[in-house]
Amino acid sequence: MPKLTIDGKEIEVPGGLTVLQACELAGVEIPRFCYHERLSVAGNCRMCLVEMGQAPKPIASCAMPAGDGMVIRTDTPVVKKARQGVMEFLLINHPLDCPICDQGGECDLQDQAMAFGVDHSRYQENKRAVPEKYMGPLIKTIMTRCIHCTRCIRFATEIAGVEEMGALNRGGHVEITTLEKAIDSELSGNLIDVCPVGALTSRPYAFTARSWELRKTNSVDALDAVGSNIRVDARGREVMRVLPRLHEDVNEEWISDKTRYACDGLARQRLDRPYLRKDGRLRPVSWDEAFRAIAARLDGLDGGKIAALAGDLCDAESMLALKDLMAALGSPHLDCRQDGAKIGAKIGGAGPRAGYLFNTTIAGIERADAALLVGTNPRHEATLVNARLRKRFLMGGFRVGLIGAPCDLSYPVDTLGAGPETLSELAAGTGAFAEVLTAAERPMIVLGMAALARPDGAAVLHLARALAEKFGMIGEDWNGFNLLHGAAARVGGLDLGFLPGDGGRDRDGILDGVHGGDIEVVYLLGADEIDMARLGPNAQEGAFVIYQGHHGDAGAHRADVILPGAAYTEKNGTYVNTEGRVQLGRLAVSPPGEARADWTILRALSEVVGQRLPYDDLGALRQRLVAVNPVFAAVDRVEAAPWGEFGEQGKLDGAPFGVAVENYYMTDPISRASETMASCAEVFGSGRAGEATGTDG
């Protein structure tokens, strides 16, 4: 614990810190541009210079290790002059076009020029201009604004793992450049956040709003099962942008491109009023008429002929309301696994929680020393989990094996095989990777949905469980068994038991039941990823389909009644991420038109069908949620889940594991409605080309 004197104040700091970090602990602000907590130290901007003891020159505090007995001064004329000098240098070639710069109002250069610069420039020569670079549909470049801090280069190289940015030329001619193609990373949007100036800004957001006009709401993302912490910035009723919020255990300070950029999909293809299919066509109706049509169809119908499926974006509250309504109607047929993943027991709920969680936790990945990925591409299914795996890889001593479709994960992977056969061999202890797992102290396995959403999924799960035990993945303070979910709603649905009840049917049972005439009414709560053809062409030759959701996607297309619900930014709702972390999403804007928060729709409908649900406000519903499963009371706390029996011994199929996410940019109704995601899909789908066109849009 070195002891330093900073501006006359003595302070003891933990070992391994830099002088800059020590100054922060002492409550002394040090200006900086190139330094970033999560990137390697560059020391090039020279803004953080301070005086150190008898050193003849000021030192870069970001790069100097804090040592015992150091005397640091940050308030001397030398330091002030050095900062002013650097600030002046940074601004001489900067265009000072703040009035037309999207960074304006949230710009480090602006803020620090105010705090540490002088109020005029002595520069009378011509300024340099730098040509723009093409970085794809997400990032807009104004390279003349660049101050060459190289944060973007370091982010791309270190965090994202794509060596596609670098510096060209020398001296005053230095330019930060790309390969003149879109940055091939699902984390590219974070480049905008790490850029301390307006050189890299959001392309879709360009010229739409000023930061001070926006209403900021802290929430969580629902477009994958990571549960990234986000801030939703809205103006009026429109979500203008989504930014990351710090959560060390989940997303650190990054978010994926889908999380950030799919938000324009919130304003398109929206269901903003109820619809009822009359004479084969969906017609707008009042809430009352829609409810009465449902009540009429359910009237006298045996509960056993009704079924419900919950989709991937559902909040726990609405799933519980629907579950309670189904129970009241006498239906045991419900399922939250619309991809058909064989998770949980056949009868009697979800089974032990450790059987469906990412038990290691995302932050726990950093403690692992070997990983086996099975039927998963974490880069596409949970980008921030993959970022954490890469972070662990960079720490050294971490081997990763993959069984499944080969993919580029931004770190080296031993591809071991394609399907369950390889998994059995490994579980039997054969192959080189078995030695890696044996030698590892804290090995982990990650099962993706591609390994479980198949007929032999329960057998794969069982085998994986056995493998985990064989290689010592389950211990006192270590659980290396992990399911990687792709759906934000999934763990919540499993936790509250949105699963077939006694004698109930699962997804395939329900869809087969429609075909056989055993199921007559299907309630789709935002379920868009099932094969709609299996519901029959219409209510007469198939099921009567009630679709409750927010987008005019596959489910709405097939529906007989549409009940317009709220997207994740438009309601207060609970989500449980893949680790089992309960988090609260918050209402940032109101739902459009006549759309309503989903649990209130179910509450209203219950009354019309004569099965009034016993909660009148969100608080009461949340109490019911905790009563169903106490985990919902532990917001943002992850407790180790007890181990147990799960999966089923069975015959394994020879077929290789498939791919859970075919198109990263279009996985759900919101991203499919997003123009930005569509342009990404185009650029990255067509062989990752995206050559510069010469026209800046």
* Closest to other proteins by CB, 121 or 430: 121
Q: Which of residues 101-130 bind other proteins (CB under 8 A)?
A: 122-123, 125-126, 128
User: What does DSSP assign to residue 213?
Assistant: G
d(CA 201, CA 140): 5
Please report whether residue 98 would count as binding other proteins according to CB under 8 A. Answer: no
> What's the rounded Cα separation, in Å, for the pair 112 and 33?
9
Measured CA to CA in angstroms, residue 567 lies from 434, 583, 591 at distances of: 45, 16, 7
Please list the alpha-helical segments (H only) found in 524-668. 554-558, 598-608, 618-628
Instruction: Report, in Å, the least distance between residue 652 CB and other proteins.
Output: 45
Nearer to other proteins, 45 or 418 (CB): 45
Could you give the CA distance from residue 220 to residue 243 in angstroms, rounded to a whole number? 10
Q: Is 21 in the site for other proteins (CB under 8 A)?
A: no
Specify the residue, 42 or 483, whose C-beta has the smaller distance to other proteins: 42
27, with CB counted inside 10 A (0-12, 13-18, 19+), is exposed
CA distances from 456 to 335, 339, 342, 483, 599 (A): 18, 14, 8, 16, 35
Number of residues binding to other proteins, judged by CB under 8 A: 38
Q: How far is the CB of 370 from other proteins (least distance, A)?
A: 24
Instruction: Kindly tell me which of 179 and 267 has the beta carbon lying closer to other proteins.
Output: 179
Q: Of the ranges 82-90, 370-378, 578-586, 680-688, which one interacts with other proteins (CB under 8 A)?
A: 82-90
Residue 90 in contact with other proteins, rule: CB under 8 A: yes
Q: Which is nearer to other proteins, 157 or 415 (CB)?
A: 157
Closer by beta carbon to other proteins, 15 or else 348: 15
**Interface with other proteins includes 503 (CB under 8 A)?**
no
Q: Out of 58, 486, 492, 580, point to the residue binding other proteins (CB under 8 A).
A: 58
654 is an interface residue for other proteins by CB under 8 A: no
CA–CA–CA angle 226, 228, 229 (5° rounding): 150
> Which secondary-structure segment (H or E) carries 464?
helix 457-470
Query: Token pair for residue 452?
Result: 């479980």
The least distance separating other proteins from the CB of residue 156, rounded to whole angstroms, comes to 15
Q: Tell me if 415 sits within 8 A of 341, measured CB to CB.
A: no
Asked if 663 is part of the footprint of other proteins (rule: CB under 8 A), the reply reads no
Residue 615 CB, shortest distance to other proteins, in Å, is 60
> Are the C-beta atoms of residues 582 and 227 closer than 8 Å to each other?
no
Minimum CB separation from other proteins for residue 88, in Å? 7
In which element (H, E) is residue 416 found? Answer: strand 414-417
- Which residue's CB is nearer to other proteins, number 46 or number 485? 46
C-beta of 128 vs 210, nearer to other proteins: 128
Could you tell me if 148 and 174 are in contact, meaning their C-beta atoms sit under 8 angstroms apart? Answer: yes
CB burial string 670-687: b at 16+ within 10 A, e below:
bbbbbebbbbbbebbeee
Is the Cβ of residue 393 or residue 547 nearer to other proteins in the bound state? 393
Query: Among 17, 26, 63, 692, which residue interacts with other proteins (rule: CB under 8 A)?
Result: 63
Looking at the Cβ atoms of 47 and 230, the one nearer to other proteins is 47
Q: Which is nearer to other proteins, 127 or 346 (CB)?
A: 127
| Alpha helices, DSSP H, located in 471-617 | 490-495, 507-516, 554-558, 598-608
Span 137-196, contacts to other proteins by CB under 8 A? 147-148, 166-167, 169-174
What does the alpha-carbon distance between residue 510 and residue 504 come to, in Å, rounded to a whole number? 9
- Report how far residue 22's alpha carbon sits from residue 61's, in angstroms, rounded to the nearest whole number: 9
* Site mask for other proteins (CB under 8 A), range 37-56, x = bound: ----xxxxxxx-x------x
Q: Tell me the C-alpha distance between 324 and 327, whole Å.
A: 5
Residue 400 CB, shortest distance to other proteins, in Å, is 23
Q: Indicate the helix (H) or strand (E) that contains 328.
A: helix 316-329
Residue placing its CB nearer to other proteins in the complex, 48 or 556: 48
Contact 94, 198 (CB under 8 A): no
- Which residue lies nearer to other proteins by CB, 127 or 216? 127
Length of the chain equals 697
CB of 78 to other proteins, least distance (A): 9
Q: Does 17 bind other proteins (CB under 8 A)?
A: no
* 173/651 with CB nearer other proteins: 173
Q: Does 85 bind other proteins (CB under 8 A)?
A: yes
Give min distance, CB of 176 to other proteins, in A. 10
- From residue 364, how far is each of 150, 247, 358 by CA, in Å? 30, 14, 10
**Whole-angstrom distance, CA of residue 200 vs CA of residue 216:** 22
Cα 509 from Cα 347, distance rounded (Å): 13
> Any contact of residue 651 with other proteins (CB under 8 A)?
no
Least distance CB 65 / other proteins (angstroms): 7
What is the distance between the alpha carbons of residues 639 and 505, in angstroms, rounded to a whole number?
Answer: 31
CB of residue 58 vs other proteins: minimum separation in angstroms?
A: 6
Q: Does residue 95 interact with other proteins by CB under 8 A?
A: no
The least distance separating other proteins from the CB of residue 114, rounded to whole angstroms, comes to 18
Q: Is residue 197 involved in binding other proteins (CB under 8 A)?
A: no
Phi, psi values for residue 3, rounded to 5°: -110, 125
The smaller minimum CB distance to other proteins, of residues 169 and 286, is found at: 169
Among residues 89, 116, 287, 411, the one that binds other proteins under rule CB under 8 A: 89
Question: E-strand spans in 236-338?
Answer: 238-244, 275-278, 281-284, 306-310, 333-335
Smallest gap from Cβ 456 to other proteins, in A, equals 47
Smallest distance, other proteins to C-beta of residue 412, A: 19
Binding mask 399-438 for other proteins (x = CB under 8 A): ----------------------------------------
Least CB distance to other proteins at residue 49 (A): 6
Q: How far is CA 594 from CA 267, 270, 275, 284, in A?
A: 14, 11, 11, 11
Instruction: Confirm or reject binding of residue 93 to other proteins (CB under 8 A).
Output: yes
Show Cβ contacts of residue 72 under 8 Å, excluding neighbours closer than 6 positions.
4, 5, 6, 7, 19, 22, 23, 50, 51, 52, 53, 61
If the CB atoms of residues 44 and 611 are measured against other proteins, the closer one turns out to be 44
Task: By CB under 8 A, name the binding residues for other proteins.
Answer: 41-47, 49, 56-58, 60, 63, 65, 81-82, 85-86, 88-90, 92-93, 122-123, 125-126, 128, 147-148, 166-167, 169-174
